[in-house]
Amino acid sequence: MANLELKKNIFGMLSDGSEIELYTVNNGKMSFSSTNYGCTLTTILLPAGNGKKVDVLLGFSTLEGWVMDGLCFGTGVGRFANRIGGCTFEIDGKKYQLDDNDSGRTLHGGFDRWEKKVWSPREVETQYGRGVEYSRVSPDGEQGFPGNLDVKQIFTLNEDNVLTLEYYATTDTPTPVNITNHAYFNMKGYDGGTVKDHEIMFKSDKVLEIGEDHLPSGKILDVEGTPFDFRTPRLLSTQIEKLKFGFDDCYCVPGFDEKNFTLREFGYVKDPASGRKMSVKTTQPGIQFYTANFLNGEKGKNGHPYGRQEALCLETQGYPDAPNHPEFPNTILRPGETYHQVTQYVFEF
C-alpha cells in the first residue's frame, strides 16, 4: 500500500472543547476525507480533467455545518438506520419504546443520533486498503435500545479506487443493529444541480412495498413494469417523473443469503457527460435508494444551496422496520455474535 497516503488534520473544535480530526486518504488518483465527528464522510475527490478535481459528495466546508445539520450528510447512522414503526419493537417478549422523531416512527435512531457523537479514531490497514477505524460504545438505553453496543466503523481506500465501509458490533444484551452511511452523491459534483440526468442501473428485480406511512407492508414486489425497474440502464428522469415525490425505497440485493457472507454487486450510477461512475457492492440485504427529496436550499460547501433531488443516496442496510417483521432478514444481534457488514463504492473516471 505504498501508494496510499494518509494525512491527519484538525477539523475544528466543539463548544465543549473537544478537538475534532479530519483524515484524508489519497491513492494518487482519487481521495476521500472523513472525520471522527459522527463517522462522517466529508469529501470524495475524483479527477475532472486538466489536473482539476471534483467533489462528488454533498456536505459542508466546515465542522460547524455538520454540527448544525439535521439531514445526515455523509454521516454514520445507527443503532438502527431507516424507520421503526410505532417507535417500538419487542425482543424475547420484552417491549422497548423509542423516540418518535418521524410522525409515529423512529428514524435513524431517534433524537440522540450517532452522527452527533465524537468517535475514537485509529489509523489502520486492512485487506480492503488504508484508512481509519472509528469506535465507541453505545451505552445501554441510548436511543431507547437495550445493551451496551461496542461499535466500529472502518473507512478505507485502495489503489483500485475502491472505497470500503466496514461495520462491526458486539453486544451484551439482544438488540437491533442496522448501520449504514448516509452519503449524498452527485457524480457531476456537489454543485452540479439535479441528478435526474444520471444513468442508473440496478440488478435488483425486487423492492419492498411501502405504505403511505413510509413503512414496509411485509410484501416484496417485482419491479417489472414499474418505475422501480432499472435492470437496464436508464436515465433517472425517465422513472422519477412517474412517481409523486421521488424515490425513498428499499431494493432487495440480488442473491442475498444470510448464511453466505459475501459482497454482491448491486448496480451503478453514472454521469453520462463526464463518464464518472460509481458501482456498489454490499453484504447487506437491502439498499435504500433515496433521491434527496427533502433538500430545500440548505447552504452547503462554499455556500452552495442544495436543492431538491440534487443528490442520490444508496444506503446499504437491513430492511426497514425489520424488528417488527420476523419474515425479513434478521437484524437482532445477540451476545456472543458479531455484527459485520461491508459495503464498497467503486469509482471509475
Catalytic residues: 182, 315
Distance CA 59, CA 310 (A): 12
Per DSSP, the three-state class of 197 is: coil
Instruction: Report which of 149, 151, 80, 86 is spatially closest to residue 112, judged by C-alpha positions.
Output: 80
C-alpha cell of residue 146:
437495550
Q: Report the alpha-carbon distance of residue 150 to residue 76 in Å, rounded.
A: 15
Calpha distance 268→304 (Å, rounded)? 26
Q: Hunting for cell 441510548 — which residue is that?
A: 142
Characterize the bridge pairing of strands 264-270 and 216-222: unpaired
Residues 6+ apart with CB under 8 A from 6: 23, 24, 25, 26, 123, 130, 131, 132
- Give the integer Cα–Cα distance in Å for 201 and 215: 25
User: Do 208 and 183 meet the contact criterion of CB atoms below 8 Å apart?
Assistant: no
Contacts of 152 by beta carbon, 8 Å cutoff, 6+ apart: 133, 134, 135, 166, 167, 168, 169
DSSP characters over 113-140: -GGGSBPEEEEEEETTEEEEEEEEEE-T
Type of residue at 203: K
**CB-CB neighbours of 346 under 10 Å:** 17
